[in-house]
Amino acid sequence: MSYKVEALPDSYAALGEGPHWDVDRQSLYYVDLESAGINRYDFKQNKVYKSKIEGEEFASFILPVENKPQEFAVGCGRRTVIVQWDGVSAVAKVTRTLFEVEPDRKDNRINDAKTDPNGRFYGGTMATSGDIFTQWNGDLYSWQAGGQPKSIREKVGISNGLAWDVKAKKFYFIDTNNHEVLAYDYNQSTGAVSNPKVVFDLRKIRPEGPLFPDGMTVDTEGNIYVATFNGGTVFKVNPSTGKILLEIKIPTKQITSVAFGGPNLDILYVTTANKFDQPKPAGTTYQVTGLNAKGYAGVSLKI
């Protein structure tokens, strides 16, 4: 199979994360996490619009709000806030807080978050100081409109990749610090998850040591795509067998997350980071074509 990896124009983010394909606007939303940056790649224009959220330090994810074209849920510290943005302006504003987690854990922040196929929120926390790769002080939460955030997993190190396969009735979750992907049984009607099992182990893939799994997505055939923060690679994996089907090489080391998008949902968008002085082109956002696979569009958050 010959796939093609191309940089999106002017797509740099020092810590790119949280790619979300929005069908209505034919746009890829993603964040520049440690500078409260929110970005929109317009497919038709082949152009990235960049904005900063006024008065905030972090933007750890961006999720369009259902039926509110200029409202987005964004992770700012331990809060999930509603941000007003027209998708073009260089400045965006917080209008209110939707919910907050862990008010007593001042050192934590929300990391990756997504919506499930029914528009519920799932996301988790991590430490922000010390060696973040050797602490397990976070939780994974779910939230739905009208309710309070509910912890669904404790002792999480760095809460990261999230993906759902409705056909297989599975929810996939990555805690980066555990070097593995978990599969939970997933009840779409209630949102409940249970019975976690390891389906992909990244400890022994490379002789130089364990790989750090980061963001994740699924394709329509049930394969998972796992970004590796220290591996320069996205692995396509069959979660039923744990077998690597394809290693997608990206021309920089810190691969943070992945999402399918494009008019036919057959382009894999890949965010990267430039942490700890990586050489160029670290921090570039990429598109991968020719994978002969399709994924699912992002789902807007119901509030």
Dihedral over Cα of 226, 166, 136, 57: its sign: positive
- 277 has catalytic annotation: no
Hey, which residues does 246 pair with through a beta bridge? 236
Look at residue 150 and tell me if it is in a domain: yes
Look at residue 92 and tell me if it is in a domain: yes
Look at residue 135 and tell me if it is in a domain: yes
Dihedral over Cα of 256, 90, 66, 192: its sign: positive
Q: Pick the catalytic residue: 139, 175, 214, 266?
A: 214
Look at residue 175 and tell me if it is in a domain: yes
Q: Give me the sheet containing 243-249, strands edge to edge.
A: 213-218, 224-228, 233-238, 243-249
The three-state (H, E, C) secondary structure of the chain, written as one string: CCCEEEECCCCCCCEEEEEEEECCCCEEEEEEHHHCEEEEEECCCCEEEEEEECCCCCCCCEEEECCEEEEEEEEECCEEEEEECCCCCCEEEEEEEEEECCCCCCCEEEEEEEECCCCCEEEEEEECCCCHHHCCCEEEEEECCCCCCEEEEEEECEEEEEEEECCCCEEEEEEHHHCEEEEEEECCCCCCEEEEEEEEECCCCCCCCCCCEEEEEEECCCCEEEEECCCCEEEEEECCCCEEEEEEECCCCCEEEEEEECCCCCEEEEEEECCCCCCCCCCCCEEEECCCCCECCCCCECC
The verdict on whether residue 214 carries a ligand-binding annotation is yes
User: Distance (Å, rounded) from C-alpha 42 to C-alpha 49?
Assistant: 8
Residue 67's CATH number:
2.120.10.30
The verdict on whether residue 79 carries a ligand-binding annotation is no
Please list the ranges in the chain whose pLDDT falls under 50.
Answer: none
Look at residue 299 and tell me if it is in a domain: no
Look at residue 302 and tell me if it is in a domain: no
pLDDT tens for 106-153 read 999 999 999 999 999 999 999 999 999 999 999 999 999 999 999 999
Judge residue 66's burial from the number of C-beta atoms within 10 Å of its C-beta, 0-12 exposed, 13-18 middle, 19 or more buried: middle
Which domain does 147 fall in, by range?
4-289
Strands 193-201 and 180-186: antiparallel
Look at residue 296 and tell me if it is in a domain: no
Look at residue 303 and tell me if it is in a domain: no
The verdict on whether residue 177 carries a ligand-binding annotation is no
Hey, which residues does 96 pair with through a beta bridge? 82
User: Distance (Å, rounded) from C-alpha 303 to C-alpha 294?
Assistant: 28
> How many domains, in total, are found in the chain?
1
As a dihedral over the C-alpha atoms of residue 71, residue 16, residue 263, residue 50, rounded to 10 degrees, the angle is 50
